[in-house]
Amino acid sequence: MIGVRLKWILAALFLALPTGCAHRVLTGVDVLVETRFAALEGQRVAILTNRTGRSSTGRRTIDLLHEAPGVDVVRLLSPEHGLSTDREGKVGDATDRDTGLPVFSLYGETRRPTAAMLADIDAVVFDVQDIGARFYTYITTLGYLMEECAVHGVRVLVLDRPNPIAPAGVDGPSADLDRLDFIAYRSIPVTHALTVGELARWFNAEFDLECDLQVIAMTRWTHAMWWDDCSLPWINPSPNIRNATQALLYPGLGLLEATNLSVGRGTASPFERIGAPWVDGLELALELNRQKLPGVGFTPIVYTPTASVHADQRCEGVSITVVDRELVRPVVLGLTIGWVLEHLYADQFEEAGIMRLMKNQRVMDWWRHTDAPQGRHRYPLFDRPSCWLHTEWFASVWRFEKKTRPYRLYP
């Protein structure tokens, strides 16, 4: 017991040491360590986490809580991609090799915690790194967790983490209310710019979940910080999001995933390239560069993906280079790419798949019929240069920002 206590005391001291970076962010688990796990003292807990749930010292949240005096960890839950974040498709239950704790999958036979998973515990600790896109399923898993914990009288403790694309802002169409599902938990824009802790607070209040919720907030983080401003190591939150640039491009390129287009899965650069056997890479690069999409450039490439769409087939397409991340509008990027593909390759491109992730019929109809997605415009009331696409969802973005402002935890 003395050895265990010494471990977490040393960890807290380490976090308090200067590192030469004035903006080193302490995530929720770091703050929990600093407070000597006071929020969980004397409680039996489950932890919903994966490989991204680590402290600034590199230790797993699982191990820190398992060793913490006064905290009894009885089981683990894992979201899509499993505890190791390297799985695709359904994930089965397992056992954590290091602690011997059972791991119950929430991306297998069920996507909601069952009564058995929540039995005989006081709280579920949520520590998962999100990337800020509506259809990245971790926030739906959080919502389902809160709903079920409210029913079963179990507290939810969210250990907050940065939104790596928060500076890109709130953007994109909100999901239609009749199209909500596992990749659209609520009617929110494609990029929401909030942390999981802020979303949890909003979910709880806006949708009357009546969950006993506590958020352990970060310190030294703001919505203006990109991932490399945080001095935190990048840990892949899923198999094909391998760096912060891919996280930034994902909300746009992800919109194209349900079409017959390769978005780079099965290559070294997923979500930084697109292509297909029926694409002329040079033609596509020229046309996309003519669109003058802010912050990005396009280079023709040839590649052969080893997995997913067009696996083992020669594809031509483009590599996407971020030249100024402050200017990138990922949703406009994705929809403009789709629009160009439809106009160049209407007989081959299966554009209907875009709707599966966009989930907004009005914007989809407009997208199909417009002849100028990149026409310049200025928002009414605000002197903010944009494009015609932005005006199609400006009102819903404004409403979302207004509704969620009271639940923000950071400047």
Question: Taking the CA atoms of the chain, what radius of gyration do you get in angstroms?
Answer: 22
What's the whole-number mean pLDDT along residues 329-345? 96
pLDDT at position 120 over 80: yes
Contact criterion met (CB below 8 Å) for 123 and 40: yes
What would the 3-class secondary structure string for the chain be? CHHHHHHHHHHHHHHHCCCCCCCCCECHHHHHHHCCCHHHCCEEEEEEECCCCECCCCCEHHHHHHHCCCEEEEEEEECCCCCCCCCCCCCCCEECCCCCCEEEECCCCCCCCCCCCCCCCCEEEEECCCCCECCCCHHHHHHHHHHHHHHHCCEEEEECCCCCCHHHCCECCCCCHHHCECCECCCCCCECCCCHHHHHHHHHHHCCCCCCEEEECCECCCCCCCHHHCCCCCCCCECCECCHHHHHHHHHHHHHCCCCCECCCCCCCCCCEEEECCCCHHHHHHHHHHCCCCCEEEEEEEECCCCCCCCCCCEEEEEEEECCHHHCCHHHHHHHHHHHHHHHCCCCCCHHHHHHHHCCHHHHHHHHHCCCCCCEEECCCCCCEEEHHHHCCHHHHHHHHHHHHHHCCCC
- Tally of CB atoms within 10 A around 219: 14
Candidate from 263-272, 366-375, 378-387 with smallest mean pLDDT? 378-387
Band (pLDDT 50/70/90 cuts) for residue 371 is confident
Band (pLDDT 50/70/90 cuts) for residue 381 is very low
Tell me: the pLDDT tens digits for 92-115?
A: 999 999 999 999 999 999 999 999
Contact criterion met (CB below 8 Å) for 242 and 228: no
Percentage of the chain beyond pLDDT 70 is 90
pLDDT for 265 equals 97
- Tally of CB atoms within 10 A around 378: 12
pLDDT for 374 equals 66
Angle in degrees, 0-180, between the axes of helices 196-206 and 394-404, rounded to the nearest 10? 90
Identify the structural domains of the chain with CATH numbers, from first to last: 2-238 (3.40.50.12170), 244-374 (3.90.1150.140)
Band (pLDDT 50/70/90 cuts) for residue 291 is very high
Tell me: the pLDDT tens digits for 21-68?
A: 456 899 999 999 999 999 999 999 999 999 999 999 999 999 999 999
What's the whole-number mean pLDDT along residues 313-320? 98
Mean pLDDT across the chain: 92
pLDDT for 126 equals 99
Band (pLDDT 50/70/90 cuts) for residue 392 is confident
Tell me: the pLDDT tens digits for 164-198?
A: 999 999 999 999 999 999 999 999 999 999 999 99
Of 120, 131, 127, residue with least CA distance to 75:
120
Tell me the residue type at 91. Answer: V
Q: How far is residue 368's CA from residue 346's CA, in Å, rounded to a whole number?
A: 11
Beta strands 43-49 and 123-127 are parallel
Query: Rounded to two decimals, what is the model's pTM?
Result: 0.92
Band (pLDDT 50/70/90 cuts) for residue 159 is very high
Band (pLDDT 50/70/90 cuts) for residue 382 is very low
pLDDT at position 157 over 90: yes
What's the whole-number mean pLDDT along residues 313-324? 98
pLDDT at position 201 over 60: yes
Q: How far is residue 95's CA from residue 83's CA, in Å, rounded to a whole number?
A: 10
Contact criterion met (CB below 8 Å) for 335 and 389: yes
Contact criterion met (CB below 8 Å) for 289 and 336: no
Structure token digits, residue 31: 């703050």
Q: Cα 366 vs. chain centroid, distance in angstroms?
A: 27
pLDDT for 388 equals 62
Contact criterion met (CB below 8 Å) for 65 and 71: yes
pLDDT for 5 equals 47
Percentage of the chain beyond pLDDT 90 is 87
pLDDT for 40 equals 98
Tell me: the pLDDT tens digits for 241-283?
A: 999 999 999 999 999 999 999 999 999 999 999 999 999 999 9
pLDDT at position 14 over 90: no
